[in-house]
Amino acid sequence: MKWKRTHSCGELTINEVTQSVILMGWVDRRRDHGGIIFIDLRDRYGITQVQVNPNSEAYNEAKKLRSEYVVAFKGVVVARPEGMINTKLKTGEIELVASEIEILNMAATPSIPITGEINASEDLRLKYRFLDLRRADMQSNMIIRHKTAQIVRNYFSDNNFLEIETPFLMKSTPEGARDFLVPSRVWRGKFYALPQSPQTYKQILMISGFDRYFQIVRCFRDEDLRADRQPEFTQIDVEMSFIDEEDVFSIMEGLMVRVMKEILNVEIKTPFQRIPYNTAMEKYGIDRPDLRFGLEIHNISDIVKESEFKVFSDTVKAGNIVAGICAPGCGSFSRKQIDDLTAWTKEAGAKGLVAIKVKENDWDSPLNKFFSDNQRKEIIKQFNANDGDLFLFVADEKNNALPILGDLRIKIAKQQNLINPNLYKMAWVVDFPLFEYSTEEARYVACHHPFTSPVPGDLDKLLSEPEKVRARAYDLILNGLEIAGGSIRISDSDIQSKMFKALGISDKEAQSKFGFLLDALKYGAPPHGGIAFGFDRLIMILTGCSSIRDVIAFPKTASAASLMDGAPSDVSSEQLLELGLKIVDGL
Amino acid sequence: MKWKRTHSCGELTINEVTQSVILMGWVDRRRDHGGIIFIDLRDRYGITQVQVNPNSEAYNEAKKLRSEYVVAFKGVVVARPEGMINTKLKTGEIELVASEIEILNMAATPSIPITGEINASEDLRLKYRFLDLRRADMQSNMIIRHKTAQIVRNYFSDNNFLEIETPFLMKSTPEGARDFLVPSRVWRGKFYALPQSPQTYKQILMISGFDRYFQIVRCFRDEDLRADRQPEFTQIDVEMSFIDEEDVFSIMEGLMVRVMKEILNVEIKTPFQRIPYNTAMEKYGIDRPDLRFGLEIHNISDIVKESEFKVFSDTVKAGNIVAGICAPGCGSFSRKQIDDLTAWTKEAGAKGLVAIKVKENDWDSPLNKFFSDNQRKEIIKQFNANDGDLFLFVADEKNNALPILGDLRIKIAKQQNLINPNLYKMAWVVDFPLFEYSTEEARYVACHHPFTSPVPGDLDKLLSEPEKVRARAYDLILNGLEIAGGSIRISDSDIQSKMFKALGISDKEAQSKFGFLLDALKYGAPPHGGIAFGFDRLIMILTGCSSIRDVIAFPKTASAASLMDGAPSDVSSEQLLELGLKIVDGL
């Protein structure tokens, strides 16, 4: 390198005209116009047009330039002629007239396009990630990710939180998802585990008196991967002492206000809505409802119970429900459209779908005769339905009907363009159940995790009626996604022991897995609670990306492989021998 | 919890007198004085004295309080009587007169003392880390660690660096230390490795055009542990494009200035001294000299070559060296002291030690007669020695003599109190050799790592005379410790291939291990370089701790075990079966 760079490719303006400067970057585009060579020189900061004239010393070298060559230009900044100004570029008013050139590196023809629309397969993009990351949208995603992390860290620091690093090589305590294991060489036959979350450590930190902890931290889950999961992911991890739910909410709301304002320039109102879990299920059929549109589910069981329409009345009498949504303006749906919706609903597991159009403030349906005037009016009133709307009813078991209607609600909203993509609707979902029954494991498992505090009033049901115990757990939802989840923790070692018992974990097993936490709880644990925030998903929302892989610099595929470097890979037999391990046929 | 905390235990002053407040914290100490109970209530922020009077509602509960109980007090802030003010505490002018109390949690008797001098063994402290971390010095260490990380991140962000997260599950490419391996369940028989550093990824990020990257990141090395090493450690990782050594130096100097100022209120002068590796070895006998004191080594071979003292002249004639230090004021050493030094020097591997006192501007030694007046004067002049000083000479092979004299230099400096503990002397050591010969592996290995650029002028010796090739590598040293190391990288794929060849790595092996980097270098790599900073060690220096374990929240022992949670531990045979692994007898 002969020179020092004086400016980036994104900063020269009319103010620098006549200055002599040195720029370095990549050849984004080269055009030859009547003997003059024009180079669009690119770096992370922008693009500057460079002009190399045939009489310049740089000309012969410039002729060698190809796309993605790395090059340095020395030259003078000149104003572009009136008609040539590019108002889309920050540097669009000037160009660099090059007097000298140094080619810093050559480049093979890129295997995927760097500029413009990307139509390469994702596998090819991942294999050539070093090229893919040059693309403007990937650069922007990484910059937004960096900025957001900085905002998060400064916010928590400003609020007296300490970032404390917790171990990556920890004890294996699988509860829920599988741990990634790390064989120990020094302690042959023993293993560390990579953290699924720093949960136990952050509780220890509260017991140690750190009062307010956060960490932006990598976590690991060896799950069978779904499209949008990664074996390693990043979490904003938070824990606070001497607090209750509202303290956690207000800290996190403040964070979201700051992030949304600084990254998207969007103003978010606080406090966020609080929605009990049961309400969410009943109104939206899901525990993370998209609140950007209405279309709420209404339960009409009480009204139709006495109707002559057997499908409905028998359902209610059998202890199940009739519920539905009112699709605005969909009264004009064709027979075909309604048949398609019905087929879709059956596919989703419902027995059927009853569609009724609203016309002249009454139903417009062959079913009218099975219902009294009053029943029909009552239902119209309950939904606040208007002429031209379409009722869509499902009669089924509650646990089946509600999620299907929840999906139908979203399907209709998308189809009818009811979702404003510029809205950001956040809410807290609260009062989750503490347990759910796992038929696979034939025992109750923790909905959140085994350190979640029961609601004090439900404590007496912990062992007798576990399914009725509510948890002091909460989720933060945004536009139909769960972006954070947390709880007030158990700070009493007796209750923690009881909790393990309710989960069918023996004293011995609890002691061997979580003995240090049970111990620590006996030495003066403060009331505490916290939350964990899916950082990758947050960045996905902030960047408007549809894949989590587009906001991670070096992601794995859905089958947990890294296509760029070929991980995981074979290792040498010496390495295995040192670890005292042998590869055998597994399950 | 009945109440909300209104203040921390570290903030009430005379300004809050008469206010009704609620404090929560741990019982640091309880004293009963003439019926009145005094509680020192502690949290992360400080200690507040609470007074519970016998006529107060809180009194009966307060009598139950023991050390480390977690408790909430409601009461009124009152000024302490004149004679009772504690000027050492921020809250020392006031106390809280409690009217109500809520015991939030009880505590077993702590297994190690929380307050005052700690005399528990380190193993006990590590087992009860949740208690150990309550101690004031551990709290302070974690706070300094947090603050430093924030300063580092804000500094780099302010300077246009992006923090980009790199994978923890990567490809195993052992070169140097051993990788920790992570078996894959999905790809049975294959393994990920935990990163020893994000070296290849950060170079990829430069090739991707991110220009300036940093990350505070965990790294892993499965080494046989020395006292102050951890299997997982934290690194400040930095990489920059279109730069040379001086750009890296000036960025890092700016960082050090900011950190030292904001954490220690110490002003550091820049630019730091640059010391070539050879000079460091010759003047200090080590490549990370402590520059807080002089005592430089001088080579007197040329002067003594012609002397009649055979021990010296024969040594020089055999191609070896005579060198020494001049210990100021040590001319008064007793025979016993000199014998001890001689014994120590022989223990260290030297053939012997020649000690000569300086008196009346001449030597005061039975050896005087073997040297000419001129030779003796010349040596006194070279060292700038004064009456009362003591020369300590070693005659040996250069590679043996210099390190021993380097150790002797430090020994004398400590013994004579020549080291000012309040000085922070930083310097860059430069011009390292690129290779060193490993007799164990019977090949040249990279002193830094195989991606380090040779000095361009030495390129032609890469394969013919590797031992003569200098590296574009540099270390940042502080008070005798290496705190950072880095290099300008190879950005040319042909030179990188040659480098692998020089290291005895075949094309096939290079392709299989580092193929993605070799590939990436062909697609337009900018000139780039960077540095990695030992974050744990930096915090050790900033906190004045002598053990790295005191600046890590949950460290491992020297045998890589976690005494608190018992990692590493046995895992179930199901877990192993799923991974397709079996434990066998190892080496």
Whole-number Å distance between alpha carbons of A196 and A233: 9
Does residue B186 belong to the interface with chain A, where contact is any CB pair within 8 Å?
A: yes
Residue A572, token pair as written in the block: 């040498």
Q: Which range is least confidently modeled, A111-120, A246-255, A259-268, B131-140?
A: A111-120
**Helix boundaries (H) for A294-350:** 301-304, 310-317, 335-347
Whole-number Å distance between alpha carbons of A68 and A108: 8
Please tell me the total number of residues recorded for chain B in this structure: 587
Residue B208: its pLDDT value, please? 98
The enclosing H or E element of A70 equals: strand A70-79
Q: Do B209 and A134 touch (CB under 8 A)?
A: yes
Q: What is the largest CA-CA distance in chain A?
A: 94
Higher pLDDT, B514 or A491: A491
Measured distance between the N- and C-terminal CA atoms of chain B, rounded to whole angstroms: 57
Strand stretches in B165-309, DSSP E: 181-183, 191-193, 212-220, 232-241, 273-276, 298-299
Does residue B22 belong to the interface with chain A, where contact is any CB pair within 8 Å?
A: no
The tokens 């090819």 sit on which residue? A124
Which residues in chain B come in under a pLDDT of 50?
none
Could you give phi then psi for residue B299, rounded to 5 degrees?
A: -90, 115
The enclosing H or E element of B27 equals: strand B20-33
Name the 3-class secondary structure at B82.
helix
Across the interface, of B26, B129, B162, the residue whose CB is closest to A209 is B26
Residue B575: its pLDDT value, please? 87
Q: How big is the CA angle at B171 (ends B167 and B172), to the nearest 5 degrees?
A: 125
Four-residue CA torsion sign, A507, A509, A515, A517:
negative
Is the peptide bond between A526 and the residue preceding it cis, with omega within 30 degrees of 0?
A: no
- pLDDT at residue A586 tops 60: no
The pLDDT tens digits for B436-491 are 888 888 888 888 888 999 999 999 999 899 999 999 999 999 999 999 999 999 99
CA distance to partner chain A, nearest, from residue B224 (Å): 8
DSSP state of A568: S
**Which residue of A102, A242, A243, A494 to mutate against B (max B Cβ within 10 Å)?**
A242
- Superfamily (CATH) of domain A139-274+427-551: Bira Bifunctional Protein; Domain 2 (3.30.930.10)
Residue A572: its pLDDT value, please? 87
CA distance to partner chain A, nearest, from residue B232 (Å): 8
Residue A544, token pair as written in the block: 């408007």
Across the interface, of A69, A579, A580, the residue whose CB is closest to B524 is A69
Strand stretches in B123-247, DSSP E: 162-163, 181-183, 191-193, 212-220, 232-241
The ipTM (two decimal places) reads 0.94
Whole-number Å distance between alpha carbons of A383 and A394: 15
List chain B residues with CB under 8 Å of A129. 204, 208
The enclosing H or E element of A204 equals: helix A199-207
Whole-number Å distance between alpha carbons of B434 and B445: 9
Residue B443: its pLDDT value, please? 83
Counts for chain B of helices (H) and strands (E), in that order: 16, 23
Structural domain boundaries of chain A?
14-105, 139-274+427-551, 293-419
Name the 3-class secondary structure at A509.
helix
User: Residues of B numbered 235-254 whose beta carbons fall under 8 angstroms of chain A's beta carbons: which are they?
Assistant: 242, 244, 247
Residue A42: its pLDDT value, please? 98
Beta strands B181-183; B162-163: pairing state: unpaired
Q: Do A571 and B172 touch (CB under 8 A)?
A: yes
Beta strands A528-534; A581-583: pairing state: unpaired
Could you count the other beta carbons within 10 Å of the beta carbon of residue A2?
Answer: 9
User: Which residues, 6 or more positions from A365, have their beta carbon under 8 angstroms from its beta carbon?
Assistant: A356, A357
Whole-number Å distance between alpha carbons of A352 and A348: 10
Does residue B568 belong to the interface with chain A, where contact is any CB pair within 8 Å?
A: yes
List chain B residues with CB under 8 Å of A554. 166-167, 201, 204
Beta strands A20-33; B36-43: pairing state: unpaired
Span A367-371, average pLDDT: 96
**Spatial CA neighbour of A42 closest among A119, A111, A128, A116:** A116
Phi-psi region of A34 (alpha: psi -120 to 50; beta: other; left: phi over 0): left
Would you place residue A587 in the very low, low, confident or very high pLDDT band (cuts 50, 70, 90)? Answer: low
Residue B131, token pair as written in the block: 């208690």
Q: By the 8 A CB rule, do A231 and A548 touch?
A: no
Whole-number Å distance between alpha carbons of B424 and B414: 16
**Spatial CA neighbour of A297 closest among A272, A275, A338, A326:** A326
C-alpha to C-alpha distances, A308 to A323, A345, A358, A365, A472, nearest whole angstrom: 17, 24, 20, 15, 43
Does residue B523 belong to the interface with chain A, where contact is any CB pair within 8 Å?
A: yes
Q: Do B523 and A131 touch (CB under 8 A)?
A: yes
The pLDDT tens digits for A54-108 are 999 999 999 999 999 999 999 999 999 989 999 999 999 999 999 999 999 999 9
List chain A residues with CB under 8 Å of B70. 524-526
Q: Do A171 and B561 touch (CB under 8 A)?
A: no
Q: By the 8 A CB rule, do A498 and A446 touch?
A: no
Span A185-214, average pLDDT: 96
Residue A513: its pLDDT value, please? 85
Q: By the 8 A CB rule, do B380 and B362 touch?
A: yes
Whole-number Å distance between alpha carbons of B511 and B514: 5
Four-residue CA torsion sign, A419, A420, A422, A423:
negative
Average pLDDT value for chain A? 94
Beta strands A321-327; A298-299: pairing state: antiparallel
**Which residue of A146, A148, A243 to mutate against B (max B Cβ within 10 Å)?**
A146
Chain centre distance of CA A500: 30
Q: By the 8 A CB rule, do A132 and A126 touch?
A: yes
The tokens 């949504």 sit on which residue? A325
List chain B residues with CB under 8 Å of A104. 242, 491, 526-527
Q: For B455-487, give the secondary structure using H, E and C.
A: CHHHHHHCCCCHHHCEECEEEEEECCEEEEEEE
CATH of domain A14-105: 2.40.50.140
The pLDDT tens digits for A316-343 are 999 999 999 999 999 999 999 999 999 9
**What secondary structure does DSSP assign to B527-583, as a single string?**
PEEEEEEEHHHHHHHHHT-S-GGGGSSS---TTS--TTT--SB---HHHHHHHTEEE
Beta strands B232-241; B273-276: pairing state: unpaired
The pLDDT tens digits for A109-131 are 999 999 888 889 999 999 999 99
The pLDDT tens digits for A142-183 are 999 999 999 999 999 999 999 999 999 999 876 667 899 999
User: Residues of B numbered 479-518 whose beta carbons fall under 8 angstroms of chain A's beta carbons: which are they?
Assistant: 491-492, 515-516
C-alpha to C-alpha distances, A529 to A147, A474, A488, A525, B263, nearest whole angstrom: 27, 11, 4, 12, 31
Residue B449: its pLDDT value, please? 85
CATH of domain A293-419: 3.30.1360.30
CA distance to partner chain A, nearest, from residue B37 (Å): 20
Does residue B146 belong to the interface with chain A, where contact is any CB pair within 8 Å?
A: yes
Residue A499, token pair as written in the block: 């909790």
Residue B215: its pLDDT value, please? 98
The pLDDT tens digits for A493-537 are 999 999 999 988 899 988 888 899 999 999 999 999 999 999 999
Whole-number Å distance between alpha carbons of A498 and A490: 11
CA distance to partner chain A, nearest, from residue B480 (Å): 27
Residue B586: its pLDDT value, please? 55
